[in-house]
Structure 1
Amino acid sequence: MTFGQLEIFATLAETRGFTAAALRLGVSQPAVSHALKTLETELGVALFDRTVSPIELTPVGERLLARAREILGLADAIHQEALEYRGVQSGRLRIGSFGATSSLQLLPRLLERFHKEHPGIEVMVEEAPDDEIIRWIEDRRIDLGFVVLPDDRFRTWPIAQDQFVALVAADSALADQPSVRLEQLCERPFIMPESGSAGIIRRLFTQSRLSPNVRYRTSQILSTLTMVSRNQGVSVVAEMALPKVNGGEGWVSKPLDPVRTRKIGLAMHSQANPSPAAAAFVGVVEKTRPAF
């Protein structure tokens, strides 16, 4: 068993295709197939079901993937620590980010400071909805991920507090109110944002024993804003996910009544030994946090 074989195994699990894995790794497709076959022969199990397209992990493949990622993470940490001892500041860091809040509002400032202090470290930002980020942290696919706090499953560092707001058309009656109740949103067609904090938004209604009249589902904040501005429905989003406004957008945001807030933080697998790059990024978070 080699690190190369484990890297190919982990990459195949992410891309779910031999061609895509080969392109990502910069090797030939036959090399990927050979490495996987050799690894499966050595282990005596099939890691992927090749009878379906795209390929899928077998049950034992699912179990061994977490171990493979753990080994690769430890190997990367050893390499980074050796480089650090030699005075070389380099390495790789994977961060999971959910939607506009973390990608547009929080990450840019953190990355700017991080790269000033650690210019040799390569950062890969992978974006996905909240629940996918959780799975990536659990599977150790990423070193760090943005999550909504509290979350006792991980080691966490709080960063910022945000509130949820109602989105309504600028020419609607709700736009004249200082705040909006969830009950009022249930009286109109609702646009459910399926990215970012969709799960939390659903729980806001459930906890109030309400059910919105969901007519549309969107995956991008821009689509939600456009539909609201055309008076096709109302929505609820996290305030930090909204773009800067100039007054002519056709939509307005209103605080919820009562106010609903959320705390955003950075999370790491509770059993992970952080690499120097991950530890350095956490250090930047702790120093930058008061600015948010």
Structure 2
Amino acid sequence: MTESLRSVTDRTPDLYQLQVFTVLAEELHFGRAAARLFTTQPAISRRVRALEDALGVAVFDRTSRTVSLTPAGEALLPEAREVLAAADRLRRAAARHVREVTGRLRFGGIGGEVATDYAQALLTALARAHPRLTVELRTLGFGEQFEALLRDDVDVAFLRAPVPPGIQTLPLSREPRVVCLPAGDPLAARGTVTLADLAHHTVVDVPPPAPRAWWDHWTANPRPDGTRVRYGPAADDIEAMLAAVARGHGITFLPSRARDFHPRPGVRYADVPELSPSTAVLAWNARHRDRPDIAAVRTVAAPLRIR
């Protein structure tokens, strides 16, 4: 290093010296400045002297009782503040990159869940917050939906409660459940039916390994009077289930938005007020809760959750 370059480098003030300068310029009192900076008055004095040595000019006039800015100090104060602001912008930009998640995240979803307004809002917010995170979407069958998370075939999923142990959730939406009937069923002309009306109807089943407790919840099995549901053929996805209903092989129960998402020839929907609402959830394997990409999704989803 040449002597001229060394002298320039040695005379460059550091950020803390500039911070001391700006705080003392605001307070014009060593005691108050020291309190704001959680340090001592002698330390403030040393930093000011070091700054003035680095700049080659006095920035404060100080006596035993007063502190004031010199003309040079008045001129340099805006520049010092700009340097500190630029340094703060640099730190915040670096922090954003540290927090930014990269890689590939596999989203699963049953039925039309990925196309719902809440799922799309989450995916849009995630892309905005983590543009270098690649998202893959996969449709899950009823039988595999929970196993896909537990086996790490997908990382997060848009599902419907209830969920089995080992899976954590964040609720995103809640809506009534409806019954899906063959168009030729005598009940199909009615807008509202009761569980008693459906007592003798066969219900389309779902295949293993879908938990029996999950489908029993959806089908209200057993019914309020204690009778058990009679299950018919199994269907692993919405299309197969609706096709079974249209052919008269059974009825099924779906979220009320199925009316808009899944209108099909030969199928009619009716309200069942006795059924509790259905909750749509964002789900993940509990073992991976704090994995950076899962944590990023949870953070983005938090403002979208229902209370």
TM-score range, shorter chain: 0.5 to 0.7
**TM-superposition CA deviations, 1:59-114 (whole Å, max 9, x none):** xxxxxxxxxxxxxxxxxxxxxx99943x86522223343x1153332533422332
Relative contact order, CA 8 A, sep 6+: which one is greater? Answer: 1
1:267–1:172 distance in 2 versus 1, CA, 3 Å: closer
Mapping 1:197-276, distance limit 5 Å = 199-203=213-217, 204-206=220-222, 208=224, 209-241=226-258, 243-244=260-261, 249-272=265-288, 274-276=290-292
Q: Using the TM superposition, give the Cα deviation of residue 160 of structure 1 relative to its aligned residue in structure 2, in angstroms.
A: 1.1
TM-score for the superposition, normalised by structure 1: 0.56
Give distance in 1, aligned partners of 2:95 and 2:155.
Answer: 19
Aligned-residue CA RMSD in angstroms? 3.8
Q: Deviations over 1:16-63 (max 9, x none)?
A: xxxxxxxxxxxxxxxxxxxxxxxxxxxxxxxxxxxxxxxxxxxxxxxx
In the alignment, the residues of structure 1 paired with residue 197 and residue 212 of structure 2 have an alpha-carbon distance, to the nearest angstrom, of: 19
The one-letter code of the counterpart of 1:258 is: E
Distance in 1 of aligned mates of 2:203 and 2:289: 44
Residue in structure 1 matching 2:194, options 169, 181, 186: 181
For residues 1-292 of structure 1, the aligned pairs below 5 Å read: 84-85=97-98, 90-97=102-109, 99-105=110-116, 106-129=118-141, 132-138=144-150, 142-147=154-159, 148-149=161-162, 153-194=166-207, 199-203=213-217, 204-206=220-222, 208=224, 209-241=226-258, 243-244=260-261, 249-272=265-288, 274-289=290-305
**Is the Cα–Cα contact under 8 Å of residues 155 and 268 in structure 1 kept in the other structure?**
yes
- 2:107 aligned partner, one-letter code: I
- When residues 272 and 250 of structure 1 are mapped into structure 2, their CA distance, relative to the original with a 3 A threshold, is closer
Counterpart of 2:46 in structure 1 is: none
Provide Cα deviations, 1:104-144, integer angstroms capped at 9, x if missing partner: 32533422332233221012344435674444544555443
Deviations 1:169-208 (A, max 9, x none): 2343212333223333332343224498874332421253
TM-score norm. by structure 2 comes to 0.54
Contact 1:102 1:146 in 2 (8 A): yes
CA change 1:189–1:206 in 2 (3 A) is: closer
Q: Deviation per CA, 1:207-254, whole angstroms, max 9, x where unpaired? A: 5323333332222222322332344432222334555366x7332111
Find the structure with the greater CA-based Rg.
2
Identity %: 18
User: Which ranges of structure 1 fall in alignment gaps of 5 or more residues?
Assistant: 1-80
CA contact (8 A) 1:201 1:237 kept: no
Structure 2 stretches lacking a partner, 5+ long = 1-93
Contact 1:96 1:126 in 2 (8 A): yes
Report the secondary structure of 2:105's partner residue: strand
Give aligned pairs, total: 208
